[in-house]
Amino acid sequence: MDSAQVIPRHQTAIARQHLSKPIALAMADGVLSANSTLFDYGCGRGGDVARLQAMGYTAHGWDPGHSPNAERHAADVVNLGYVINVIEDPTERAQTLASAWALARQVLVVAARPDWEARTVTGRRHGDGIITKRGTFQKFYSQAELRDWINVQLRTDCIAAAPGVFYVFRQDSDAQTFLASRTRHRPAPASRPRRRQALYDVHREDMDALAAFIARRGRVPDPEEIAGTASRLLGAFPSLKQAAALLRDVTGSQDWDRDLTRARHQAERDLLAYLALAAFRGRPKASDLPKGVALDVRTLFGSYRAACSQADELLHAIADQKALNNACSRSDIGKLTADALYVHATAIQLLDPLLRVYEGCARTLTGTVTECTIIKFSRIMAKVSYLSYPNFDKAPHPVLATSLRADLRKLSVKYTDFRSSTNPPVLHRKEAFVPLDYPGRDKFARLTKQEERAGLLQEPVTIGTQTGWEQRLQERGYRLAGHRIVRITTAPAPEVFQ
């Protein structure tokens, strides 16, 4: 009997309460927009399709078990989410990938279960996977194996979107636009103008959109880059430069010039990080650059050659562990230890370009680790780790849940789960990891001062784990009350450190 008949693939379909990981990721990355059409190839019970349609998206799906009569048709975005891992026949698996790719006009999203999830599933070996206790098939992929398999089967170069999730773009220009957006910073909301002028007030929403673009890219946009906004502004101004001049006037020339200089500097760092990382896929020719990136290059560096030259210097430095160590040592963001620099994920775009490229190299292996809280840059080996502390903001001393480490020498990814550990690592001095404007930073710093005065942070090696830290608190006679320490005493009113 054919194995495809006896293995109940349809039973692997999960009834989710939320969007699946690859769909949610594609939306967050801008790969799936409100203007995109989506086809879910192997949609299971259809939860993603139903939720997207309820949100106003044009979405359809097909599934051989649950929706076999649905039409399979082309779409801008095609999702092949957790399908290939349930197909036991390698030939059929490859055919399924090719069929989904044939329907993708712009991008194919491929997701499969990562190899570290294999330890949570029991069963017997079958081919290159296992037959589970339910009788279903599962194949688990290492990050490198999944990437290489997609590339070989489709004869293309996919991009790691997240652990177990890859994007395959139809046009290289779309791939480059996505890669450039990954390195671009997200500025804080622009400050409101000090003075109100009638022309500004009439066009406030569009003027704010123009200001936001300039803050993000360090330059005035081409009208095509903000088409709707530009068409309205150009009805009132001779050019977008004139509109920007009004912004400068109402904001205050000194503040505007300072903010523009800062924005240009940040945009230069963003662009260098993108161009350095683009070398791994083969940098596009200047004539093949997406228009927005080409305008960034011309405005910020004068020429593509000059920009690439600076990006190459960063790439060469990545191979120099001493240069990486020096970049870690001089960073004014993050917590520096003897062997690593630890930085909160929200601060990555504020780092030295060399460290951003260092992390970007790791991300080409892992994709975006959405649950990451802290990024660890090794100072002694070419390794970057993504650490998850789910209760970082609320817990005074967060407990490490998971770690995903990218080894740039071996081009491998290692996952470690601490959630069942009886003595997991814990964090101290939380304010050291975050940027200065991070919400709650002052509260973190006050707790650290209290603990220093109480002598709780001496000999940090012994307090780096949950058991060691709890013993230290008990030995010194304290307990935690939120982000405060309280002396344990039999007196009516406990002493609280403020």
Place of tokens 């051989």: 64
Global confidence as pTM? 0.80
Residues 118 and 131 both lie in one domain: yes
Whether 19 and 154 map to the same domain: the answer is yes
Same domain membership, residue 408 and residue 272: no
Residues 135 and 191 in one domain: no
- Domain enclosing residue 209, as ranges: 173-318
Same domain (yes/no): 354, 253: no
Res 498 pLDDT > 80? no
Ranking 9-18, 379-388, 474-483 by mean pLDDT, the lowest is: 9-18
| Residue 465 pLDDT > 90 | yes
Domain stops at, among 170, 202, 222: 170
Query: Could you tell me if 18 and 39 lie in one domain?
Result: yes
Q: Residue 23's pLDDT is what?
A: 94
Residue 30, pLDDT > 60, answer yes
Closest C-alpha among 401, 190, 191, 214 to residue 299: 214
pLDDT of residue 79 exceeding 70:
yes
pLDDT at 2: 43
417-431 residue pLDDT tens: 999 999 999 999 999
| Boundary residue ending a domain (170, 189, 223) | 170
On whether residue 497 sits in a domain, the answer given is no
Q: Is residue 493 one of the residues assigned to a domain? A: no
8 Å CB contact between 456 and 476: yes
Per-residue confidence (pLDDT) for residue 1, from 0 to 100:
35
Most confident region among 17-26, 96-105, 209-218, 317-326 by mean pLDDT: 96-105
- CB contact set of 194 (below 8 Å; sequence gap of 6+): 250, 251, 252
Percent of the chain with pLDDT over 70: 92
Kindly report which listed range (194-198, 314-318, 323-327, 432-436) carries the lowest average pLDDT score: 194-198
In percent, how much of the chain has pLDDT > 90? 70
The total number of structural domains that make up the chain: 4
d(Cα 85, Cα 130) in Å, to the nearest integer? Answer: 10
pLDDT of 196 over the 90 cut: no
* In a shared domain, residues 409 and 477: no
382 has a pLDDT exceeding 90: yes
In this structure, the answer to whether residues 186 and 221 fall within a common structural domain is yes
Residue 73 has pLDDT above 70, yes or no: yes
- 408 and 343 in one domain? yes
- Quote the pLDDT of residue 16: 57
For residue 67, the domain's CATH number is: 3.40.50.150
At residue 339, what are phi and psi to the nearest 5 degrees?
-120, 0
Residue 190 pLDDT level (bands cut at 50, 70, 90): low
Phi then psi dihedrals of residue 392, to 5 deg: -55, -45
Statement: residue 188 has pLDDT above 70: no
Report pLDDT digits (tens) over 170-185: 999 999 999 998 887 7
* Same domain flag for 134 and 202: no
Domain match, 215 and 314 both: yes
Of 147, 170, 193, the residue at which a domain comes to its end is 170
- Count of residues in the chain: 498
User: Mind listing the pLDDT tens digit for each residue in 108-151?
Assistant: 999 999 999 888 888 888 888 898 888 889 999 999 999 999 99
pLDDT at res. 122: 83
Residues 165 and 294 in one domain: no
Residue 495 forms part of a structural domain: no
